[in-house]
Amino acid sequence: MADLTGVNDTLPVRVGGVSSTSGLPDNYADVNVGGSLQVAGQGIAGTPAGGVVSIQGVTGGTAVPSSQSGIWTTGRTWTLASGTDSVSAVQSGTWTTGRTWTLTSGTDSVSVIQSTSPWITKDQSDGPVSPGTVASFSQLIGGQFNTVLPTLTTGQQSAIQVDASARQIIAPLTNASVVKAQLQDNAGNGITSASNGAAGNQLLSVQTPDTTTATTALGALNANVIVAMAGLASVGFQILAGTLIGTVTPQCSLDGGTTWENCNFYNPTTSAITGNVVFSSANTLTILSILPIGGSSHVRVIVTAYTSGTGNALLRASQVTGAAGAVTAAAFGTVTNSYITLGTNTTTQLLTTNTNRKYAYISNNSGGTIAIQFGSATGLTSAARGLVIPNGNYYELKGDNLYTGSVYAYTNASGLVIAVTEGTP
């Protein structure tokens, strides 16, 4: 290629080309009549040829659009700090975010008004500390000290009151300020101590310290004084000195006073247990304990034999259990020892009925076997029946198994001698 000559022929970069007329290489690039650089063959006006880029345009033609894919130059340069990859932009016009807000010149925030979502945008605890009308929103916490406590009316509120040391003031309870409740039976009736024994109260045992009857005249056959036990542990009987000549008997009931069973008196002075008391002449002052069947609902004393006169009596039930203790551990001061020879193949009575009996034992050291039976001799026909006591053994009647009735023995052997001891007051 020939060297470039002419203007600026000293520049280090030279552009070579081929003449479009002669087809020979030369030092000049071709341009078209409009002055545009031709890279390849000249295009037709209005339609650039393939491979031809029109820098300034084609005379009479259309410019070819181009897309940016590299670095843009915007006329202003930002230098990014080391390690950053973003440029902070300050909004000064209108931004479109899916919905358009127009910012007033010089502002940089948008005001939002709550419509549906549960936003909390401020504290609504506006209840006043001072006593007065309740606020729309009130969440008072803490207390207030007043030298004179406030007096409120219906619908008003007040802060919790504290003393000068910030200790909460709680008014003492009064009878009028205490909520009261009363137990009721199945029919809705209030239960009191006077309700004891009522059929509707059987699900609840209401127990009082003691229950006493009014003084009642015993002056006729079947005249009686009765007390409801209501779960109480013991009962006592008292008859004042009077003119009654007759017999009084203690009885107890398990079914609320419908069916009666005889029980016993206990005399704490003599430790005697008796089934009744007989006044053969005008009655004297008599005070006795009664020993009812366990679980008794009612106890009474009734005139079972009557001659004449009247005695005034009462019953009292309580939790005092001294009488029961005296019965189970009753002392005796008199001892009767007997040595009884038994008949062969027959029954022999060892003890007769004795309501004053406090203790007894039957000892068999006779060399043979005996059998004993309580109450009667009926059916006792063998030493293998009843309660068998072998040679060298004994049986006691005491405490909870104290029996005051008659006792019989049987043996098949002959010449047996049995030792019997009985204790009485």
User: Within a 10 A sphere around the Cβ of 283, how many other Cβ atoms?
Assistant: 24
* Most confidently modeled range among 20-29, 197-206, 251-260: 251-260
State pLDDT tens for residues 349-387: 999 999 889 899 999 999 999 999 999 999 998 888 889
Establish whether domains 210-328 and 334-424 are of one fold.
yes
Residue 224 CA, chain-centre distance (Å), reads: 48
What are the DSSP calls for 213-281, one per residue?
PPPEEE-STT-EEEEE-TT-SEEEEEE-S---EEEEEEEEESSSSSS-EE-EEEETTTTEEES-EEESS
CB 317 within 8 A of CB 371: no
**DSSP H or E segment with residue 286:** strand 286-291
State pLDDT tens for residues 33-47: 665 555 554 445 555
pTM for the complete prediction? 0.37
CATH code, residues 334-424 = 2.60.120.770
Tokens 């491979």: give the residue: 51
Section 65-89 average pLDDT = 61
Q: What are phi and psi of 328, to 5 degrees?
A: -75, -20
**Domain spans of the chain?**
210-328, 334-424
* Averaged confidence pLDDT in the chain: 76
Instruction: Assign domain 210-328 to its CATH architecture.
Output: Sandwich (2.60)
Note the pLDDT of residue 75.
61
Taking the CA atoms of 267, 271, 272 and 278 in sequence, report the sign of the dihedral they define. negative
State pLDDT tens for residues 282-341: 999 999 999 988 889 999 999 999 999 999 999 999 888 764 444 544 567 789 999 999
